[in-house]
């Protein structure tokens, strides 16, 4: 059955290293969301793409984070350089948005998440 996949599931790295997280959205979905969940901030929306174009990345620290969709089957979230405060679970979600703009209440299919620990 169709599902969103994320790799890696767990990542432990040292401060200063580059981290790349990957997401494969459900085939046919045109919108991809990146979320970060931490104990302090809860679930935060970092960025989302529609038809591979970034629509909103205002939730993402621009100096070290970057999100891309090289093609319709792959979304990436990179952190360079990583810092301990980046430790969190990063979720990717995808959806099929057919009407106008994107509402965050539209149906989103969540991946299992990537648990990142930056030492």
Footprint on this chain of other proteins (rule: CB under 8 A): 37, 39, 42-43, 88-89, 93, 95, 105-110, 112-113, 115
Question: Nearest approach, Cβ of 104 to other proteins (angstroms)?
Answer: 8
62-to-36, 65, 66, 89 alpha-carbon distances in Å: 15, 5, 7, 19
**Is the peptide bond between 78 and the residue preceding it cis, with omega within 30 degrees of 0?**
no
Q: How far is the CB of 107 from other proteins (least distance, A)?
A: 3
CB of 88 to other proteins, least distance (A): 8
Choose between 22 and 115: whose C-beta lies nearer to other proteins. 115
Bridging pattern class, strands 88-95 and 5-7: unpaired
Residue 58: strand, helix, or coil: coil
Q: Which is nearer to other proteins, 70 or 101 (CB)?
A: 101
β-bridge mates for residue 14, sequence order: none
* Residue 18 C-beta: closest distance to other proteins, Å: 21
Q: Cis before residue 38, ω within 30 degrees of 0? A: no
CB closer to other proteins out of 20 and 110:
110
The nearer residue to other proteins, 59 or 66, going by C-beta atoms, is 59
């Amino acid at each position: 059955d169709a599902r969103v996949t994320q790799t890696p599931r767990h990542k432990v790295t040292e401060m200063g290293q580059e981290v790349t997280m990957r997401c494969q959205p459900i085939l046919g979905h045109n919108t991809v969301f990146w979320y970060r969940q931490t104990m302090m901030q809860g679930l935060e929306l970092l960025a989302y793409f529609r038809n591979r174009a970034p629509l909103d990345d205002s939730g993402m620290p621009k100096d070290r984070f970057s999100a891309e969709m090289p093609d319709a089957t792959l979304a990436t979230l990179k952190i360079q350089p990583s810092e301990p405060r980046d430790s969190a679970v990063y979720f990717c979600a995808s959806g099929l948005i057919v009407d106008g703009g994107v509402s965050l209440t539209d149906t989103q299919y969540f991946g299992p998440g990537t648990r990142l620990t930056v030492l």
